A and B are shown apart, each in its own frame.
Chain A
Amino acid sequence: QVQLVESGGGVVQPGRSLRLSCATSGFSFNTYTMHWVRQAPGKGLEWVALISYDGSNKYYADSVKGRFTISRDNSNNTLYLQMNSLRSEDTAVYYCARVSVEQWQRLWFDYWGQGTLVTVSS
């Protein structure tokens, strides 16, 4: 069955970096666009970034552009989010999510990981 498992979250000081991973299994990872979505404590959902199935296209929310980098390793079925210059407002649960149809960049998300909590605090 399809599984998405995030890791790499934790407590980090403002200005520091963190790298999140999303290990996937149960589907052809290299044919699906993947996204990161975050949720601040007690708040709603915020889209963060997407990467196309082949890694050729990447898009970011304005709030993270220039600080976060999305990438993928199709040989290891893993998605990444490199987060630099972290701010307190980046504190959130970060979810990786799969687009529902192969090769489409923007659709609904049919599978989500359980999320990993990133806390940015001094």
Chain B
Amino acid sequence: DIVMTQSPDSLAVSLGERATFNCKSSQSVLSTSNNKNYLAWYQQKPGQPPKVLISWASTRVSGVPDRFSGSGSGTDFTLSITSLQAEDVAVYYCQQYYYTPITFGGGTKVEIK
């Protein structure tokens, strides 16, 4: 199974500052046939299901604010939130969808400093 490792486990950032966190897969999730990284990022707030933010490692899903951005390729990926807002407090998960079983990272909890 592909292991997705997220770091850090938690992060405290001041309002308006940048938050950056990482996701590493145990095998590459880059497809050589279409040159796409099969990786998504989700945001989960307490008591709610996850909400997808980013697909294909760097494509923002429709309706997601442009302060969210994804980058990376192969095995190393990053989600960044520029100018953190109070409503961004949540747990963020990465997910690989290249292999079965689909696997998620353990999550990064973002809080306000």
A interface residue numbers (CB < 8 A to B): 35, 44-47, 50, 59, 61-62, 95, 97, 100, 105-110, 112-115
Known: A44-B107, A59-B100, A106-B38. 17 other contacts (CB 8 A): A35-B102, A44-B106, A45-B44, A45-B50, A45-B93, A46-B104, A61-B101, A62-B1, A95-B49, A100-B55, A106-B100, A107-B55, A108-B52, A108-B55, A109-B40, A112-B50, A114-B49
A89 to B56, CA, bound (A): 32
Q: Sort chain B's interface into a size bin.
A: 20 to 34
21 A-B pairs (CB sep. < 8 Å): A44-B105, A44-B106, A45-B42, A45-B107, A47-B104, A59-B100, A62-B1, A62-B101, A97-B49, A105-B100, A106-B102, A108-B55, A108-B95, A108-B97, A109-B40, A109-B52, A110-B61, A112-B49, A113-B49, A114-B49, A115-B49
1/0 per residue, CB under 8 A from A, across B42-69: the answer is 1010001111100100000100000000
Residues of chain A contacted by B101 (CB below 8 angstroms):
47, 59, 61-62
Main SS of the interface on chain B? Answer: loop
The answer to whether B55 touches A47 (Cβ under 8 A) is no
Among A45, A100, A109, chain B packs the most CB atoms within 10 A around the CB of A45
B82 adjacent to chain A (CB < 8 Å)? no
B85 adjacent to chain A (CB < 8 Å)? no
B103 adjacent to chain A (CB < 8 Å)? yes
B52 to chain A, nearest CB (A): 5
A95 to B102, CA, bound (A): 15
Q: Give the top 7 A-B pairs by smallest Cβ distance, nearest first.
A: A112-B49, A108-B40, A47-B102, A45-B104, A106-B97, A108-B55, A44-B107
